[in-house]
Homo-oligomer: A and B are copies of this chain.
Amino acid sequence: MNKRYFVGVDLGGTYIKFGIVSDKGEVSYKGMLSAQARLGRDVVRDNLLRSVKQALQAAKVKKTKITGIGTGSPGTVNQITGRIEGSSPNIPEMVNVNLRQWLSKPFGLPVCVDNDANVMALAESKFGAAKGFSNALCITVGTGIGGGIILNGKLFHGSNFAGAEFGHMTICHNGRKCNCGGIGCLEMYASAPAMVKDAKRLLKTDKRSIIRSLVEGDLSRLTTKVLFAAEKKGDRLASQVIDQASAYLGAGIASAVNLLNPQVVVIGGGVSQGGASFIRRIDREVKRRAFPSATRHLKVVRAKLGNDAGFIGAAILCAQANR
């Protein structure tokens, strides 16, 4: 059978990543635009349309026929209606947008939509680190903490598309208030902003850390990337922050493992770029905390598809729906 091609779009609070993807998961083109989510939903819409146009333009040049458009977005995404039903705390202005209508009208192509972490999980499950496993948890750690659950080889959506919100498991019963309205959510302890915040707090009473010199005295430039770099150079404060975040992540994942008993946990998102030692520390904590019968064969691994996972998964979603 001939290959079919899809445009995949990964809408994030900061960037829109997109590409042309075959139904075998091959990427023949990719691009990125700023989402400018803080400027409101009309701007997001314009940027989204520009992204798809750019991809379709590239397809025209390559003489590639596009069969459909797949999109991943933060929030609770109703796959059937195409509407975003629940807010993502990190891009709230999208609630009640009908994402499918936004894209199907201008382009006249079939449009599939799903949660961004779900499509990432789908991509990792078909072509990445969860390939070959029928039960997998995929967790993205970045500005927020999201996730996707693969059960019996398929994306699990819950009863009304609201599942897999790993970042909003209670990890500290009387802990930090979360943007979602919850208390002590994992996201408040182990997302990139949480790590940066913790580092800044510790820096107030620390004189030895090299972090200040790495950001040339400008703490607004402090990112998890800087933290991982500082740790590599032996910085203790950075180590402490990363240790703490991996301990929290490990505890949250252990809870999910005790519930769902998957074969593999895949960790992606910006923070997972912290490298092998970060994943190892999370793995150790998961195995220390979860039931031995649930972890005996469990693998905790880093995502393979990196920043492309979202748009690849979005495209595959559309490929699956339009066979």
Contacts and interface: CB of A to CB of B under 8 A. Distances in A.
A172 interface: yes
Interface in A146-168: 147, 149, 151, 156-166, 168
Interface in A57-111: 76, 85-87
Nearest to A184: B251
B293 A160 contact: yes
A299 to B, nearest CB: 11
A82 to B, nearest CB: 15
Contacts of A180: 291
A258 B292 contact: no
Contact of A261 (B159, B175, B182): B159
Interface residues of A, number: 55
Instruction: Report which residue of A158, A247, A292 has the largest number of chain B beta carbons within 10 angstroms of its beta carbon.
Output: A158
Contacts of A170: 171, 251-252, 254-255, 289
A158 B171 contact: no
A285 to B, nearest CB: 10
A289 B183 contact: yes
Contacts of A247: 173
A130 interface: no
Nearest to A256: B259
B165 A294 contact: yes
Interface of A: 76, 85-87, 134-135, 147, 149, 151, 156-166, 168-173, 175, 180-184, 189, 247-248, 251-252, 254-256, 258-263, 288-294, 296-297
13 contacts: A76-B291, A76-B294, A86-B294, A135-B159, A158-B260, A159-B261, A162-B293, A169-B258, A169-B259, A171-B171, A172-B172, A172-B173, A173-B175
